Chain A
Amino acid sequence: MIALDVQHLSKRFYSGQTPAVFDVSFTVQQGEIIVLVGPSGCGKTTTLRLIAGLERPDAGEIYLGGQIAASQGTFLPPEQRGIGMVFQDHALFPHLNVYDNIAFGLRGKPSAEIRQTVRELLNMVGLEPLAKRFPHALSGGERQRVALARALAPHPVLVLMDEPFSSLDTDLRLEMREQVRSLLKAMNASVVFVTHDQEEALYMGDRLAVFQKGRLEQLGTPEQVFQNSATRFVAEFMGNSAFLSGEVIPGGIQTEVGLLSQPVNLPTGSQVELAVRVDDLDFYPDPAGNAVIVERIFRGVQNVYRLRLDSGLTLQAFKEHITMLPVGQRIQAKLNPGHPLNVFPASH
C-alpha cells in the first residue's frame, strides 16, 4: 500500500524568485522511512510542510493513503489530513503535562481508549513515570520522546519528522537515532524524515531523497545514493567527495594518481571527473612521489591526511591512528583498487 504519493509538487514563496520546491515527485510505501536530505535552503522542509498542509502548493498533487490531500482546486487543511508530525523544536505544549501532550491528538475518542493509547505509548517510549511532568522539567531526550509519542498516538497514516534530533547533543543524537528507528519499525510507521545530516540520512532512511535548490536530485536506497550518485552534487554532498580529473582511455580512466579500471559509457578521449572520497585513495612515503602531505588531522581512530598533488589539487586520505607521517613528507598517492567511483563528464 502506498502511504504517500507526491506528484509534481511545486511551491514558490515570492513571484519572480526561484521556487522553494519545484516539480518534486516521490512515493512512500506503508512502513517505509524515506529521508529528505540536502543542505539548508534546499526545499526539504518546505516539501514536508506541504505534505503536512502547513503550506499550500502552487502546483502538483499530494495523496495520503490513496486519498487526495492537495491538488489544483483541492486543499485539505492540516487538521483533516490525519498526519503525525515531530517538530524540530519538539513544539511540546508548555501548558500541558506529558500525558495531556500525548493525548492532545486523541480528542473525541472514548476516554478509556485515550487512556489505553497514551499508556501504551508512554510505555513504548519509556516515560511512564514522567506522565505528570511538564515539558520544562524534561531533558532534551525525554522531550524528544514525548514529541514522538504525541505524533504516533493517533495512529497516523504518515509521520513527518523535521530534523527532530538537531536540538540534541551528539551522544544523545546517536542514541535517539537507534531508539527512534527501531520504534518506528516496530510500529510499522510510514515516515518522511527531514535532515541535513548525511550520516543521519544514511542511517535512518530505507530510501533517501536528495534535494538541491528545490529539486529532487536523486531518489534511492542509501547504498544507491552513496555509490551510484546520480549527479555531481549528490556525490559531493553524500560523503564529502573531492573531484579528480581524468581522461577516458580504452580499459578505464587515466588520472594523476593512476588508472581506474572501470567501464565507462563515454567515448575514448572524453574528459571526466571522478568523485574521490577519503577511503578511495591510498598513499605511501616516496621521495619521488606525486604528492606532498600538507596537513594531518587527528581524528582519534584515524589520521586524515590532506595531500597536495603536483597538479595543485588537494585530496584527502586516511591511515590508521598509529601511522604518523610528518607534514611536508613527499608521498606517492594511488587509487584503491576495487573501489568503484562515480564518474561525471567534466563540467568545464
Chain B
Amino acid sequence: MSLPRLASLLFILVLLLTACTPASPTTPEIPTTAALSEPTDVPTDVAATESVDQSISGKLVIYSGRSEPLIQPVIDAFKAEYPEVEVLLKAGSNSEIANALIEEQANTQADLFITTELFTVQSLAQQGIFQPYRSTAADQLPPEFVDPNNNWIGLTLRARVIMYNTDLVALEDLPTSIFDLTDPKWKGKIAAAGSTNGSMQAQIAAMRQLLGEEKTEAWLQGLLANEVTFFGGHTDVRKAVGAGEFALGLVNHYYYHLQLDEGSKVGVIYPDQGEGQLGLITNATAVAVVKGAQNVSAAQAFVDFLVSEQGQKLFAEQNYEYPLLPGVSLRDGVQPLESFRLAEVNVAEAALDSDATFDLMEKLGLP
C-alpha cells in the first residue's frame, strides 16, 4: 500500500473513531442565545412524578464539586435503584467544575451539577446555566434552601468548625472563635483548605457579607501571618491534624467525625457562639439540572433520589452531614444545629459579589 493511501486511511480511521465516540453529543443543538437572556422566573409547571420511571436509562453525566469519596456511595445506591443508568462522574474542585460548565455552555456535556456551597450554584443560575426542575420533595425542605426559580435545590448542611489534636492542645487553650486562629500562639500549627476549595470560598464570601471587606481581609492576613498551611482539600487537613502534624484544622464538621472514625485523637469546636460573635458559619450543598442536558429524565430522577429519604439518609449516615429533609435523623455523635447560634447569610446577595471574593483571595495571594 502506498504511503498517501496509508496516511489517508489512518486519518479516516481516526475521524471515524472520533465520530463514534459515545461521549460526544449527537442530539440536536440547544438554542444558545436563549441561554443567557432567558428569564429565570419560569413557572413551576415542570411536574415531578412521584412514582419512579423504571425505564429511565442511558448515560448520566454528573459534574460534582463534592469530592469523589463523598458522592460515590450515593451514586452506587442510585445505580442499585436504576440499573439501566450509566453514571459518569467528573469530580473536582467546586470552581473548577463551575468553570467547565461556563466553558461548555454552547457544547453541554453535563446533566447534573452537585456543589458544595450555594454561592456557585446561585451565580451559575444567574448566568442561565441551569434548567428549572422542582422535585416533589421541594415543598418539604426549608424554603431558603430551594431556589425560588427552581434552578437548584439544597441537599445538606455542613458547619465550619475547628478540629484539634487532643495530644497537642490542652483544653484550656482551645480557641473559641475563628478569629483566635490569628493568635500568634498558633503560628505554624494550623491547617486549612486553600483558595480552590468551595467551602473555604463560601466561608470567605459569608464573612465578607457579614463583616465587610476590611475585617475579612484582616482575618485572612492574620492567617497568612500565622503561617497557616493551606491544603488542596480537607481530607489532607483532617489527616494532618489526626497525625499530629498540626494542632488545629479549619474544616467542615464531618471531617472531624471521619478522622475520629480512623481512631485519631481529635476534638471539635463549634466556634463563635458567644454574645456579639459571628455565629456558626454553615454551607449548604445543592444540586441543579444543567440546561441542555442530554438525559433530563435520569438527571431529574437523580435529583429526586438525592432529596428522598433514602438519599438524605445516605448523606447523614455515610458522611455525618445535616440532611435538609425534615425527619431524617442525624448520625450518632453529630451535634444538632439547633443547639448553635448560626450566622445568617443572604446567599443570593453574596453570590452577586463572588468576583470580589476571588479578587480578595488573589490580592492576598491565598494559596
A–B contact via C-beta, under 8 angstroms:
no
